[in-house]
Amino acid sequence: MTLLKNHHFCSKCVLPNGFLYNRLDENGVCDFCRDSSFSTSNWKKIQITNEMRECALQDWKNTIVTIQNSSKDSYDCIVGYSGGKDSTALLDMLVNELDLKVLALTIDMGLMTEVAKNNIKQTLNRLEYQNHHVLIEDATNTFSKLYKYLFLNHHSHTYALTLTICDYCSDLIHSIMVKEAIIRKIPLIILGYSSDQIKRYFYEIPEKEMRTEWIPDFIRENPFTEEDREWFLTNKDLKNASFPRIILPYHILEYDEASLIKRVTSKGLITQGHTDPVLTNCHVVKAGLMYDLYRYGGIPYALQYAESVRQEEVSKRPRTRKKWLRLYKSVGNAILTGTFAKEGIEMFLSQIGISKNDLLERIERELASDPNRDIIKENIKVLE
């Protein structure tokens, strides 16, 4: 009992003991911190060697020079533009520093926050870039069906719902981008995933994965229709020999959150205070986090926060750990008291037609057969 009391969270990162079967040892150190090659279905850190980094950086420089010198009859690249600070800073860098002809592409999943919408308006105004922005809104119904399906059919003891949703949702978003790039004959898609978002990819999304892993089996069945399936990659798309490359430059460029925020706020692209990822993240993720806290006793963000701590310079780690742990606890507590993203979560649940109580009852039923149940309940209590 004393051991548990002292070590609710990994002493090196922020992972809660027992969360998604991640255990702390007698020194309070988690599996990930003890063994850098440790992986689970929820988190697999891609081991990035200096050589990989150098190689990717060289590729980035070559790619930019090549497109800078190419003819300009169509766009150089598509940027996935969500209105968050990362994609806003990326758009600004590509347009103003690298002088590229960029098509900013925003995909509305039906639940974009007002903050994100306003950020987009403000940025496009400031950059005078309104004519090079495309907003795709017609897929919202398909996204809603996808979310509802995933919320109602999640039966795993080990894999968090939020992560499942993020995987399927980002595959769909990427598919829509690839389709747009193929239609417009744009050879490159650039995405602003931060340096700690390396669970699935490092620097580039392999074409093989686009072709083989982006079409979930369940979309062939009810309630999905032909109209829904058209948003995913179709056989016709797959027959296309030239797919665009998708690259993630923040994985190899200097990624410093504070200077990115400074960049977008000092230029007036985003108003100060509107850069917090908790504000710009979609409501689906927020509802997913609530689900996962009640279901697994923790918030999957912890995996990413923990990674941020591990990637920090050794001397700065304790301070960074403190910062993320504080955020983790405050988000966890806000979820339990019902103050976390209350409106957003309610809006989302009503859109997919499930009440919060119904959801909590479903979670209790799932929990009943989970061997990790006691630890889950204990971890929830810590956040109360």
Q: Which residues bind Zn ion (CB under 5 A)?
A: 10, 12-13, 15, 30, 33
Assess whether the previous peptide bond of 277 is cis (omega < 30° from 0).
Answer: no
Q: Using alpha carbons only, what angle is made at residue 280 by residues 277 and 281, rounded to the nearest 5 degrees?
A: 75
Tokens of 170: 């980002």
CB of 305 to Zn ion, least distance (A): 10
Taking each helix axis from N to C terminus, what angle separates 140-152 and 283-296, rounded to the nearest 10 degrees? 0
CB of 303 to Zn ion, least distance (A): 10
Q: Which is nearer to Zn ion, 10 or 335 (CB)?
A: 10
Give, for 96, the enclosing helix (H) or strand (E): none
Q: Which is nearer to Zn ion, 12 or 199 (CB)?
A: 12
Q: Which is nearer to Zn ion, 28 or 216 (CB)?
A: 28
Q: Are 42 and 303 in contact (CB under 8 A)?
A: yes
Taking each helix axis from N to C terminus, what angle separates 283-296 and 317-336, rounded to the nearest 10 degrees? 90
CB of 332 to Zn ion, least distance (A): 17
CB of 309 to Zn ion, least distance (A): 8
Q: Which is nearer to Zn ion, 124 or 303 (CB)?
A: 303
CB of 8 to Zn ion, least distance (A): 12
C-beta atoms surrounding 267 within 10 Å:
15
Q: Which is nearer to Zn ion, 15 or 299 (CB)?
A: 15
Q: Which is nearer to Zn ion, 33 or 233 (CB)?
A: 33
Q: Are 22 and 172 in contact (CB under 8 A)?
A: no
Residues 6+ apart with CB under 8 A from 276: none
CB of 322 to Zn ion, least distance (A): 14
Q: Identity (one letter) of the amino acid at 85? A: K
